[in-house]
Structure 1
Amino acid sequence: MTRPSAKHLHGRRINPKAITGKETVADLVDDAFLAYNAGRLREGCQLFTQRMLAPESTVAMSITGALTPAGLGMSALIPLIEAGFVDWIISTGANLYHDAHFALGLSLHQGSHTADDVELREQGVVRIYDIFFDYTVLLSTDAFVREVSARPEFQRAMSSAEYHYLLGGYLLEREKALGLTKRSVLSMAHTLEVPIYTSSPGDSSIGMNVAEQALAGSRLRFDVSADVNETASIVLEAKRTGGKSAAFIVGGGSPKNFLLQTEPQIQEVLGIDEKGHDYFLQMTDARPDTGGLSGATPNEAVSWGKIDPDQLPGTVVVYMDNSVALPLLTAYALARHAPRPLKRLYGRRQAMMDRLLTEYRAALEFRNRRAEAAKG
Structure 2
Amino acid sequence: MKATSVSQFIHVHYRHFNAASLRDASKGYMSHLDRGGQMLVTLAGAMSTAELGLSLSEMIRRDKVHAICCTGANLEEDVFNLVAHNHYERIPHYRELSAHDEQSLLKRHLNRVTDTCIPEEEAMRRVERAVFEEWALAERRGERRFPHEFLYRLLRQETLKAHYQIDPQDSWLYAAAEKDLPMFVPGWEDSTLGNIYAAHCMTKKLRNVHTVRTGVEYMMELAEWYGRVTATQSIGFFQVGGGIAGDFPICVVPMLSQDLRKENVALWGYFCQISDSTTSYGSYSGAVPNEKITWGKLGAETPKFIIESDATIVAPLMFAYVLEW
Return the TM-score normalized by structure 2: 0.88
Distance 2:217 2:269 in 1: 24
Match of 2:76 in 1: 97
Matched, 1:189 2:189: no
Q: Return the offset for 1:188.
A: 2.0
Please show how residues 1-376 of structure 1 align to structure 2 within 5 Å. Answer: 20-49=1-30, 51-54=31-34, 56-73=36-53, 75-107=54-86, 108-112=88-92, 113=94, 114-115=96-97, 116-136=101-121, 137-152=123-138, 156=142, 158=144, 160=146, 163-172=147-156, 173-174=158-159, 176-178=161-163, 180-215=167-202, 216=204, 217-219=206-208, 220-241=211-232, 243-273=233-263, 274-292=265-283, 294-311=285-302, 314-336=303-325
In the aligned structure 2, how far is the partner of 1:141 from the partner of 1:322?
A: 27
Q: Do the aligned partners of 1:104 and 1:171 also contact (CA within 8 Å) in 2?
A: no
**Does structure 2 retain, via aligned residues, the 8 Å contact 1:253–1:293?**
yes
Listed as ranges, the gaps of 5+ residues in structure 2 are none
Query: 3-state SS of the aligned residue for 1:90?
Result: strand
In 2 relative to 1, CA 147–299 (structure 1 residues): closer, same or farther, beyond 3 Å?
Answer: same
Gap change, CA 1:47 and 1:166, over 3 Å in 2: same
Give CA deviations for 1:52-111 in whole Å, capped at 9, x if unaligned: 2235212111100101112112x1221111111111111000011111113334432322
For 2:109 and 2:218, locate their aligned partners in 1 and report how far apart those are by CA, in whole Å. Answer: 37
| CA distance 1:91–1:37, shift in 2 (3 Å) | same
Is this contact kept in 1: 2:241–2:311, CA < 8 A?
yes
SS at match of 2:262: coil
State the Cα distance separating 1:35 from its structure 2 match: 0.3
| CA distance in 2 between partners of 1:151 and 1:178 (Å) | 22
Secondary structure at the residue paired with 2:189?
Answer: coil
**1:185 deviation in Å?**
2.6
Q: How many angstroms apart in 1 are the aligned matches of 2:184 and 2:316?
A: 22
Contact 1:249–1:282 (Cα < 8 Å) also in 2? yes
| Preserved contact between residue 26 and residue 331 of structure 1 (Cα < 8 Å) | yes
Confirm or deny: 8 A CA contact 1:257 1:293 kept in the other structure: no
How has the CA–CA distance of structure 1 residues 316 and 125 changed in structure 2, closer, same or farther, with 3 Å as cutoff? Answer: same
What does the per-residue CA deviation read over 1:261-298, in whole Å, with 9 as the maximum and x for residues that have no partner?
Answer: 01011101100112521110111112222244623111
Point out where structure 1 has 5 or more consecutive residues left out of the alignment: 1-19, 337-376
Pick 1 or 2: higher relative contact order, CA cutoff 8 A, min separation 6. 2
TM-score (norm 1): 0.76
Cα pair distance change 1:257/1:133, threshold 3 Å: closer
1:365 aligns with: none
Computed over aligned residues only, the root mean square deviation of the Cα atoms, in angstroms, reads 2.1
2:138, 2:144 within 8 Å by CA — same for their partners in 1?
Answer: no
Greater Rg, structure 1 or structure 2?
1
